[in-house]
Amino acid sequence: MEPVIKLRAGCTKWDIRQKVWDYIEDNNLADFPRPVHHRIPNFKASHRASQRVTSLEFFVKAREIKVDPDKPLEGVRLSALQANKTLLVPTPRLRTGLFNQITPPPGASKEILRICSTSQGVKDFSIPLGLDSAVQVDLVVVGSVAVSEKGWRIGKGEGFADMEYAMMKAMGAVTEQTVVITVVHDCQVLDIPVELMDDHDLTVDYILTPTRVIKTNCTRPKPQGIIWSKISREMMSKIPILRSLQQIERRAGKDVTLKNEENPTPSPTCMSARTDHTNHMLTTKSNPGAAGLEDSTTVYIGNIPPTTRVSELKNLLRERKASPVHLTWQGAQHRAFLVYTDPHQAQLVLSSLEGLSIGGQVLRIELARSHRNNVNGHQVYGDKKKRSDYFKHGSETTEK
């Protein structure tokens, strides 16, 4: 089947996400919650697509199934409960652990099982499982924003599905025989360029849509465990289970060095984890006064669409190898400031970001007028007047 959404050459993952979200909204293909932007879309007929899983042999044989908590996967969770499978759902944003096991009350009616399959049911009818639980997952079901018939998958940009699979692999909960499927609308099946895929990206074996079942025959290896060199200290602080897994793998003699530990100078690729607070100043947690930042240079980004989230900008920067040492986000003023270690790096970033757009709106990208960082981070980021003087750009200031 020919994809209905066409991709241009040189597109990024965020370009693809935006195209899918726009297409679903423009064609009224979504159910609640809306708009679908920055979500795994809850498309119409998601239950019909989900029901296709019951006819698949690997579902019938599976005993333990892990299903993401996304709204369009409710049908899969319900089917698993109705078939008396052990249903595991990741904890929200992995804050309190990895899995919750959904445990319906004895003799649960069809209506109670339906409630158990919803996000509220996950809260009310589940028990947490620790790393010492003897979990052996036979089937993994993930949500997607876009997927290709070759098995390439693009999520909403936060990386939790990839992280969850890597954690399961590290704790021995999945094997090479564990099947990974996703449930999407037909319009979400695209020709995703292979060059967009990274080693940590999770691929899928089957795609379920309202009209068909697609076997991808994907041979690309799935994540083989946690890539500790990509994990920041801030991520470790936000996801406690990572600390436990790090201790386990350290005792096993594995290299668990975090990406900030090899070099005490903050890496240009180290940005803070996602935040939904888009109308306040946000900076990274690394030490602004660390050695090597005395000659740092600031890049100004303006004309940012009002609906943009800071996580979207961060992912675009990562994709273009332009991650800053510090990022100051001023969503209400439609702008951001990126701090780089030296003028040469900033010039490379300007070239890399040339023509960058979000939602079809071309961003204004240039060196900030006052880009020399001759004070420490408390002076730049902590004092309102000095922030305003430091980040003054023409008639614009950091706070109004």
HSE-up of residue 332 (Cα within 13 Å, Cβ side)? 9
Cβ neighbours, 10 Å, residue 57 = 8
Model confidence band, residue 28 (pLDDT cutoffs 50, 70, 90): very high
Question: Would you give the DSSP letter of residue 320?
Answer: T
pLDDT of 299 over the 60 cut: yes
Find the mean pLDDT for residues 130-151.
Answer: 91
pLDDT of 385 over the 70 cut: no
pLDDT of 284 over the 50 cut: no
Provide the mean pLDDT of the chain. 81
For each of the domains in the chain, give its residue range(s) and CATH number, in order of start. 13-215 (3.40.50.10420), 228-262 (no CATH), 266-400 (3.30.70.330)
Give per-residue pLDDT as tens, 314-325.
888 888 888 888
For the packed helices 310-319 and 13-26, what is the interaxial angle rounded to 10 degrees? 140
Query: Among 21-25, 34-38, 103-107, 262-266, which is the least confidently predicted range?
Result: 262-266
Give per-residue pLDDT as tens, 30-66.
999 989 998 999 999 999 999 999 999 999 999 999 9
Q: What is the pLDDT of residue 377?
A: 38
Q: What is the pLDDT of residue 224?
A: 86
Strands 86-90 and 99-102: antiparallel
Q: What is the pLDDT of residue 272?
A: 34
For 146, the enclosing helix (H) or strand (E) is strand 146-147
Model confidence band, residue 260 (pLDDT cutoffs 50, 70, 90): low
Find the mean pLDDT for residues 187-206.
Answer: 92
| CA–CA distances in Å: residue 6 to residues 19, 188, 326 | 9, 11, 35
Query: Among 204-218, 256-270, 279-293, which is the least confidently predicted range?
Result: 279-293
Q: What is the pLDDT of residue 118?
A: 92
Q: Which two tokens stand for residue 161?
A: 């599905």
Q: What is the pLDDT of residue 96?
A: 67
Nearest partner of 382 among 283, 266, 314, judged by Cα? 283
Find the mean pLDDT for residues 216-228.
Answer: 89
Total residue count of the chain as it appears in this document: 400
Give per-residue pLDDT as tens, 63-82.
999 999 999 999 999 999 99
Q: What is the pLDDT of residue 166?
A: 87
Strands 364-367 and 361-362: unpaired
Report if pTM > 0.85.
no
Q: Which two tokens stand for residue 271?
A: 């940005």
pLDDT of 296 over the 80 cut: no
Q: What is the pLDDT of residue 135?
A: 87
Model confidence band, residue 295 (pLDDT cutoffs 50, 70, 90): low
HSE-up of residue 291 (Cα within 13 Å, Cβ side)? 3
Give per-residue pLDDT as tens, 338-368.
988 878 888 888 888 887 888 778 888 988 8
Find the mean pLDDT for residues 288-317.
Answer: 76
Q: Which two tokens stand for residue 61?
A: 């044989």
How far, in Å, CA of 249 to CA of 234, rounded? Answer: 19
Q: What is the pLDDT of residue 263?
A: 43
Residue 314, C-beta contacts closer than 8 angstroms, at least 6 positions apart: 271, 274, 323, 327
Q: What is the pLDDT of residue 216?
A: 97
How far, in Å, CA of 174 to CA of 80, rounded? Answer: 18
Is the distance from CB of 139 to CB of 62 less than 8 angstroms?
Answer: yes
Is the distance from CB of 302 to CB of 334 less than 8 angstroms?
Answer: yes
Nearest partner of 67 among 80, 54, 48, judged by Cα? 80
Find the mean pLDDT for residues 275-297.
Answer: 41
Give per-residue pLDDT as tens, 143-160.
999 999 999 999 988 778
Give per-residue pLDDT as tens, 162-181.
888 888 888 888 998 999 99
Q: What is the pLDDT of residue 182?
A: 98
How far, in Å, CA of 256 to CA of 247, rounded? Answer: 9
Rounded to 5°, angle at Cα 6 from 5 and 8? 140
